[in-house]
Structure 1
Amino acid sequence: MIDLLLVHGVVITMDEQRRILKDGAVAIHNGRIIEVQDTEVLFGKYEAKRVIDCKHHCVLPGFIDAHGHGGHSMFKTVAMEDPSLWMPIMTETYKHYVTDDFWYYEGKLSALERLRAGVTTGVCVLGSMPRSDEPIFALNHAKAYAEVGIREIVATGPCNPPWPHPFSRWIDGKRVTNEVTYEKVLQGAEAVIEALNHSHDDRIRTFITPFVIVTSVDPSYPTPADMLYGLTDHDRYQSKRIREIARKYNTRIHSDAFGGMIHLAFQDKENALLGPDVHLQHCRGISFDEARILAETGTNVSTSASFGQVNARTPVTELIEMGVTVAISTDGTSPCTSFDMFQAMRKTQMYHQAALKDESYLPSGKLLEMVTIDAARCVGWADELGSLEPGKKADIITVDMNSPHLAPELMYVHRLVHQAVASDVDNVIVNGQLVLENRQVLHVDEKQSLAEALSEAEQTIKRAGLEKYTQQSKYFWGHARGYSEGKRYEN
C-alpha cells in the first residue's frame, strides 16, 4: 500500500518530455514519487492510504525561489517611500536592532507566505546583507521553516569590508555591541553549515554566501569599465576562503553580482566564485564578455523583476540562448515585493519584452521552467526536485482552476503563468507530506504565528527608531510624484 495517490488532475510534469496529462495521477510513497501516469492506469494499480481527487486542479512541481531574504517579511513596505534610504536603514536594523527571537518569528512568517504561494523550496539570505557573526540567527530561522514544513536553503556568509565590523546582540533586553573580525564571521558561517546542511530530513540546506563576489566595487550597481582597477588582496582572500569552505562541507556557493564583478572575479581563475557549483543573483548590467564568462564556466544565474532592470538589465534572454541556466527569483519580500512566483513570472516577462521591444521573448513554458526545473538546476537540486518524475522527492502543488479568472479550463500553462495568483494554490506537499490542504496550514498555528510576528515587528520598529519610515508622506494622495520630506537617516 502506498502513502498517497493524486488522481484526476491536469499533471504538468516538467519532465524531459514536458508531458501534460489531462487526466493524470501521481503515486507517492516514502516521500518520493513512484509513478506519474494517466489516472485510469494508476487507479487500478495502487492501493493508497490516502487518495486526493484533483479534478479541476493543475498538479505541478512546487516552485523554487532561488533568492530571497530572511528578515524582510517583518518590514514589508517600511521605508518604501524613501527608496534611496531603504538599504542603509535595513542593513543597520539587522546589524544592531533585531533579537535572536526575531529570526524565529520572521522565519515563520516568511515560510507561511511562501507555503501559501506554492513555494516548496526558498533561499534565504539573512538580512539585507548576510549576517553570520552568531549561528543562532540561522538556527532559529531554519527551525521556523522546518516547523512550517517547507524547504529552506540558508545562505550564510560575510558582508563587505571594512573589518573588523560592529554587530550587536540583545541580551536580557540590552544591546551589546562587539567589533567582529572577518575570521569570526567565517567561523560562524561554518558552524551554521555544519549544524544545518542536510538537516530536518534534508529539508534544510546551507550555502556559503559572501554578500558579493568582489568586494572592492559598488555592491549594488554595475561599475563602469574604467573603474575596474583589479582585485584587491581582500577580494582574493575572500574567494580563496569561500572556496575552501565550500569544498570542506561539499556545499554550494551563492552570492550577488553586478556588472564588472564577473570580469574582475575571472582574473583569479583558481578561486573565482564562478562555475557549476555557484549561482549568482542579479547580474544586472553585465557586459557581453561577462555573459560569455558565465556561459563558459557553467555559472548559474537567478534574477528578479524590479525597477533596477530598467536602468541595468540582466541579459536573461541572451544568457539563456548562450546556454546559461537562469532562474526567476522574487528577491522578496521587502519593501514592495511578495513571494508570489506567479507575479514574478509575469513581471520578468514584461520587463524583458519591454526592454527588447519584442513580445515574443520568454514564452509561457519557459517562464514556468524558470521557477521549477531550471530553478532546481540553479540551486543544485535537480536530481530530486523541479519536476514530477519517478524517484524524485514528492514536492507538489495543486492549483484550483475552477475559478472565473482561470476558466474555461484550457491552455493550462498559459493560464497559470498569466492569470493565476498565489491564493489559487490549494494543496502543498513536501517530502510526500501534506503541509497545506484545501488552503489550510497543517503544521503550525497560523493565526498565532501572525500575532507573534506583529508583536516582534512592532518592537523592532520601535527599538530601531523606524516609526517615521512607516508614515505616509504629504505627497501620498493626489500627487503624480513623491518627494523627500527632509528625512535623513543617520547610523
Structure 2
Amino acid sequence: MIDLLLIHGTVITMDPFRRIIQDGAIAIHRGRILDIGASEILESNYEAVKVIDCSHQCILPGLIDVHGHGGHSLFKTIAIDYIDDWMPILTKTYKHFVTDEFWYYEGKLSALKRLKAGITTGVSVIGSMPRSDNPVFAINHAKAYAEVGIREVVCTGPCNPPWPHLFSRWVDSKRITKEVTYEEVLQGAEAVIEALNHANEDRTRAFITPFVIVTSVEPSGPTSPARLHGLTEHDRYQAKRIREIARKYQTRIHSDAFGGMIHLAVQDRENALLGPDVHLQHCRGISFDEARILADTGTNISASPGITQASARTPVPELIELGATVAISTDGTSPCTSFDMFQAMRRTQFVHQAALRDESYLPPGKLLEMITIDAAKCIGWDDELGSLKIGKKADIITVNLRQPHLTPEFMHVHRLVYQAVANDVEHVIVDGKVIMEGRNVHTVDEGKVLYEANEEADVTIKRAGLEKYMQPTKYFWGHARGYVDEECYLEKDNLNK
C-alpha cells in the first residue's frame, strides 16, 4: 500500500518532454513520486492510505521562489512613501531593534504566506542586507519554516563595508550594542551553514551570501562605466573568503549583482563570484558583455519585476537566448511586493514585452519554467525538485480551476499564467506530506501564527520608532503625485548609526 494517490487532475509535469496528462494521477510513497500516468491505470495499480480527488484541478510541481527576505513580512508597506530611504530605515531596524524571537515569529508568517501561495521552496536572505553577527537569527527563522513544513534556503553573510560594524541584540528588554569585525560576521555565517545546511531531513539548506559580489561600487543599482576603477583589496579579499567557505562546506553562493559588478568580478578569475555554483539576484543594468559573461560562466540569474526595471532592466530574454538559466523571484515581501508567483510571472512578461516593444517575448510555457524547473536549477536543487518525475521529491501543488476566472478548463498553462492567483492554490504537498488541504493548513494553527505576528510587529515598530514612517503625507489623497512633507524629512545622519 502506498502513502498517497492524486487522481483525476490535469498533470503539468515540467519534465524534459513537458508532458501534460489529462485525467492524470500521481502515486506517492515515502516522500517521492512513485508513478505518473492516467488515473484509470494508477487507480487499478495502487491502493493508497489516502486518495485525493483532483477533479477540476491542475497538478504541478511546487513553486520555487529563489529570492526573498527574512524580516520583511512584519514590515510590509512601512516607509514606502520614503522609498529612497526605505533600505536604510529597514537595515537600521534589523541591525538594532529586532529581538532574537522576532526572526521566529516573522519566519512563521513568511512560511505560511509562501505555503498558501503554493511556494514549496523559498530562499530567505536574513534581513535587508544579510545579518550574520550571530547565528541565532537564521536558526530561529529556519525553525519556523520547518514547523510550517515548506523548504527554506537560508542565506546569510557579510554586509558591505566599512568595518567594523555596530550591531545590537536585546537581552532582558535591554539593548546591548557591540562592535563586530568582518571576520566575526563570516564566522557567524559559517555557524549558520554548519547548523542548517541539509538540516530538517534536507528541507533546509544554507548558502553563503555576501550582500553584493563587488562592494566598492553602487550596491543597489548599476554603476556608470566611468566609475569602474577596478577591484579594491576588500573586494578581492571578500571573494577569496566567500569561495573558501563555499568549498569548505560544499554549499552554494547567493548574492546580488548590478551593472558593472560582473565586469569587475571577472577580473579576479581565481575567486570571481561567478559560475554554476553561484546564483545572482537582480542583475539590473548589466551590459551585453556582462550578460555574455554570465552565460559563458554558467552563472544562474534571477530577477523580480518592479518599477526599477523601467530605468535599468535585467535583460531576461537576452540572457535566455544566450543560454543562461534565469528564474523569476518575488524579492518579497516588502515594501509592497507579495509572494504571489502567478502575479510575478505576469508582471515579468509585461516588463520585458513593454521594454522590447514586442508581445512575443516570454511565452507562458517559459514563464512557468522560470518558477519551477529553471528556479530549481538556479539553487542547485533540480535533481530532486522543480518537475514531476518518477523518483523526484513529492513537492506538489494543485490549483483549483472550478472558479469563474479560471473557466473554461482548457489551455491549462495559459490559464495558470494569465488568470491564476496565489489564493487559487488548493493543496500543497512537501516530501509527500499533505501540509495544506482545501486551503486548510495542517501543520500550524493559522490563527495563532497571525496573532503572534501582529503582536511582534506592534512591539518592534514601537521599539524602532517606525510609527512616523506609517503615516500618510498630505499628498496621499487627491493628488496625482506624492511628496514627502518638509516636516517629515528623515534624519539621514542617524539612519546608519
Give the TM-score band, short-chain normalised.
over 0.9
Provide TM-score, normalisation by structure 1: 1.00
For 2:6, give the aligned amino acid.
L
- Equivalent runs, 1:40-59 vs 2, <5 Å: 40-59=40-59
Answer yes or no: is 1:439 the counterpart of 2:436: no
Q: Which of 487, 490, 496 is the equivalent residue of 1:488?
A: 490
Shift of 1:476: 1.1
Shift of 1:304: 0.2
1: CA distance, partners of 2:442 / 2:49? 18
Three-state SS of the structure 1 residue aligned to 2:397 is strand
1: CA distance, partners of 2:177 / 2:263? 37
2: CA distance, partners of 1:205 / 1:214? 24
Shift of 1:153: 0.1
Equivalence for 1:468: 468
Q: Percent identity?
A: 73
Equivalence for 1:232: 232
Equivalence for 2:5: 5
Shift of 1:81: 1.1
1: CA distance, partners of 2:136 / 2:397? 31
Equivalence for 1:360: 360
Shift of 1:397: 0.2
2: CA distance, partners of 1:285 / 1:348? 16
Answer yes or no: is 1:373 the counterpart of 2:366: no
Equivalence for 1:286: 286
2: CA distance, partners of 1:163 / 1:65? 32
Answer yes or no: is 1:89 the counterpart of 2:89: yes
Equivalence for 1:273: 273
Three-state SS of the structure 2 residue aligned to 1:26 is strand
Equivalence for 2:478: 478
For 1:171, give the aligned amino acid.
V
For 1:21, give the aligned amino acid.
I
Three-state SS of the structure 2 residue aligned to 1:183 is helix
Answer yes or no: is 1:23 the counterpart of 2:23: yes
Answer yes or no: is 1:308 the counterpart of 2:308: yes
For 1:413, give the aligned amino acid.
V
Deviation per residue, 1:52-75 (Å, 9 max, x gap): 000000000000000000000000
Answer yes or no: is 1:299 the counterpart of 2:307: no
1: CA distance, partners of 2:258 / 2:144? 32
Equivalence for 1:339: 339
Shift of 1:188: 0.3
Shift of 1:325: 0.1
1: CA distance, partners of 2:123 / 2:150? 11
- Equivalent runs, 1:3-402 vs 2, <5 Å: 3-402=3-402
1: CA distance, partners of 2:472 / 2:22? 49
2: CA distance, partners of 1:471 / 1:344? 28
Three-state SS of the structure 1 residue aligned to 2:475 is coil
2: CA distance, partners of 1:485 / 1:204? 45
For 2:432, give the aligned amino acid.
G
For 2:182, give the aligned amino acid.
Y
Deviation per residue, 1:155-196 (Å, 9 max, x gap): 010000000000000010010000100000000000000000
Deviation per residue, 1:265-301 (Å, 9 max, x gap): 0000000000000000000000011001001100000
Three-state SS of the structure 2 residue aligned to 1:391 is coil
2: CA distance, partners of 1:124 / 1:93? 17
For 2:363, give the aligned amino acid.
P
Three-state SS of the structure 2 residue aligned to 1:270 is coil
1: CA distance, partners of 2:485 / 2:417? 40
1: CA distance, partners of 2:276 / 2:84? 34
For 1:135, give the aligned amino acid.
P
For 1:475, give the aligned amino acid.
Y
2: CA distance, partners of 1:426 / 1:133? 39
Deviation per residue, 1:435-491 (Å, 9 max, x gap): 111000111111111111111111111111110111122111111110111221433
For 1:81, give the aligned amino acid.
D
2: CA distance, partners of 1:488 / 1:42? 63
2: CA distance, partners of 1:394 / 1:378? 19
1: CA distance, partners of 2:418 / 2:62? 17
2: CA distance, partners of 1:315 / 1:331? 17
Deviation per residue, 1:322-350 (Å, 9 max, x gap): 00000000000001000000010000000
Three-state SS of the structure 2 residue aligned to 1:37 is strand
For 1:241, give the aligned amino acid.
R
Three-state SS of the structure 2 residue aligned to 1:82 is helix
2: CA distance, partners of 1:21 / 1:473? 53
Over the aligned positions, Cα root-mean-square deviation in angstroms equals 0.5
2: CA distance, partners of 1:241 / 1:159? 14
1: CA distance, partners of 2:403 / 2:469? 38
Provide TM-score, normalisation by structure 2: 0.98
2: CA distance, partners of 1:391 / 1:470? 49
1: CA distance, partners of 2:157 / 2:297? 23
Three-state SS of the structure 1 residue aligned to 2:179 is strand
Deviation per residue, 1:238-262 (Å, 9 max, x gap): 0000000000000000000000000
Deviation per residue, 1:88-129 (Å, 9 max, x gap): 100100000000000000000000000000000000001100
For 1:357, give the aligned amino acid.
R
Moved over 6 A (4+): none
2: CA distance, partners of 1:109 / 1:32? 27
For 1:230, give the aligned amino acid.
G
Runs of 5+ unmatched residues, structure 2? none
2: CA distance, partners of 1:109 / 1:470? 20
Three-state SS of the structure 2 residue aligned to 1:358 is coil
Equivalence for 1:405: 405
Shift of 1:206: 0.4
Three-state SS of the structure 2 residue aligned to 1:405 is helix
Q: Point out the more displaced range, 76-85 or 372-381.
A: 76-85
For 1:304, give the aligned amino acid.
S
